[in-house]
Chains A and B, each alone.
Chain A
Amino acid sequence: MTQDNRPSASTRSFEEKYVRFRSPEGRAVARAALGTDLANGYTTKDQAAALAGHLGVGTGDRLLDLGAGRGWPGSFIAETTGCGLVCTDLPMEALLSAQENIGALELDASATVLVADGRMLPFGDGVFDAVCHADVLC
């Protein structure tokens, strides 16, 4: 039996969406509507700050942004609290963008991106101090 490793139609659709988000025009829309050009989905900068407060993470903690898209809001939480960050998602375009944003925020030493399906995460139990999950599949 062979395994089909091609991205699903849904994943391809999201790949195309993230190509648009990476364009200067897409970033301008996010900046104007959400408060920062790092954002995607419907989570504003103010809401990302509120999430950071609810999670209560800080330096030495590790945050998983599940279905991270462009790394939003995880990269913002990592930047503002000093926590470590792992961003997971399926569309490669999204994670390339997340990696760019992590670099722009100078978080390379404490943040990473990983292609992973939220239903089969490649982590053991008890690895993360907190998990955020915003507007996945929206």
Chain B
Amino acid sequence: MKPGGRLALLTIETAPDLSQRDQTQAASLGPSAVGADAPAHELVRRAGLQVRHVEDLTAAFATTCAAIWEVRRSAERELRAVEGDEVYDIEQAKKEHMLEGIRLGLLRRSLVVAERV
């Protein structure tokens, strides 16, 4: 990236300052990549970029996740025909786990904007 160039990163991560037990539960409820040893904005800073903006988008994430689950449920018959029963059930369960992780305060979705100075 050129000097002055910007990075915008949207990511699902574990909530800050979780106990080891909660961290483990968050990792089991979230996507496979959840579980870094630091928040995304800290990893970006460590990479040498200047963090300009950090925003918690968890509420919107919960709404989107619930919407995807509901839209998929309403199209269940068509999706089962395309995906197969196993994949359909796994995908719905992933959304349910994600929503549970959000409800428990274990998962969040963050926007990080950073600049190469």
Contacts and interface: CB of A to CB of B under 8 A. Distances in A.
A114 interface: no
Chain B at the A interface: SS class: mixed
A129 B10 contact: no
Given A47-B111, A50-B111, A133-B7, 5 more contacts: A34-B68, A42-B68, A51-B8, A51-B111, A133-B8
Contacts of B79: 25, 29
Interface of A: 10, 16, 20, 23, 25-26, 28-29, 32-34, 42-44, 47, 50-51, 54-56, 64, 126-138
Contacts of B81: 25
A131 B75 contact: no
Contacts of A33: 64, 67-68, 70-71
Contacts of B2: 126-129
12 contacts: A10-B32, A20-B82, A25-B78, A33-B71, A47-B10, A126-B1, A126-B2, A130-B6, A133-B8, A133-B9, A137-B31, A137-B32
The 6 closest A-B pairs by CB, nearest first: A137-B33, A134-B10, A138-B31, A33-B67, A33-B68, A32-B71
A102 B2 CA distance: 24
Interface in B1-32: 1-3, 5-12, 31-32
A50 B112 CA distance: 12
Interface of B: 1-3, 5-12, 31-33, 53, 57, 60-61, 64-65, 67-68, 70-72, 75, 78-79, 81-83, 87, 109, 111, 113
B64 A20 contact: no
Given A20-B87, A25-B82, A129 B32 contact: no
B95 to A, nearest CB: 10
Contacts of A28: 71, 75
A138 B64 CA distance: 14
